[in-house]
């Protein structure tokens, strides 16, 4: 077994027959999240058809063949880019504020009454020093 170090994995005399997502990422020069996306998109098929969140392994021999296939690399790279663009686009659409009504469109946003700037009262003081409350002198008003 290798220690998840790319140098250790790539310098082995014989690669392990199966590798996890991190090993596949080293062999194909993709990020680990891209390998997960490629499995989700169907570009890579894990061994044994694991269900749900089970640990997934990929065949090293298949990964090396795919690394030599320029067309597959091109298609996989485009698919990963498209996958993340769509996923980020969905996230941006969710965070957009709701459209304003016609009566609100030209008005500047109103501050909430609790957030309006007001000077502190004399009794509130300006902060704490140790356990004593420091108050503002009367001549600074």
Q: What are the C-alpha distances in Å from 64 to residues 15, 18, 29?
A: 10, 11, 11
pLDDT < 50: residue spans in the chain: none
pLDDT of residue 135: 59
Q: Would you state the pLDDT for residue 99?
A: 60
pLDDT in tens, 95-125: 555 566 655 566 665 655 555 555 555 555 5
Q: Tell me, yes or no, if the pTM score tops 0.95.
A: no
Average pLDDT, the chain: 76
- Domain range list for the chain: 1-70
Phi, psi dihedrals of residue 129, rounded to the nearest 5°: -125, 110
CATH number belonging to domain 1-70 = 1.10.1660
Q: What is the pLDDT of residue 111?
A: 54
pLDDT on residue 87: 84
Any alpha helices (H) in the chain, and if so which ranges? 6-10, 21-28, 32-41, 60-68, 70-95
């Amino acid at each position: 077994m290798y220690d998840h170090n790319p140098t250790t994995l790539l310098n082995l005399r014989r690669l392990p027959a199966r590798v996890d997502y991190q090993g596949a990422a080293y062999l194909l020069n993709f990020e680990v999240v891209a390998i997960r996306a490629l499995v989700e998109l169907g570009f890579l098929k894990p061994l044994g058809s694991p269900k749900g969140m089970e640990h997934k392994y990929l065949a090293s021999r298949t990964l090396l063949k795919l690394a030599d296939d320029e067309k597959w690399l091109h298609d996989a790279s485009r698919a990963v880019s498209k996958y993340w663009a769509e996923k980020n686009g969905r996230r941006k659409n969710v965070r957009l504020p709701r459209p304003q009504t016609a009566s609100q469109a030209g008005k500047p946003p109103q501050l909430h009454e609790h957030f309006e700037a007001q000077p502190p009262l004399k009794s509130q003081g300006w902060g704490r020093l140790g356990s004593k409350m420091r108050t503002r002198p009367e001549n600074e008003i």
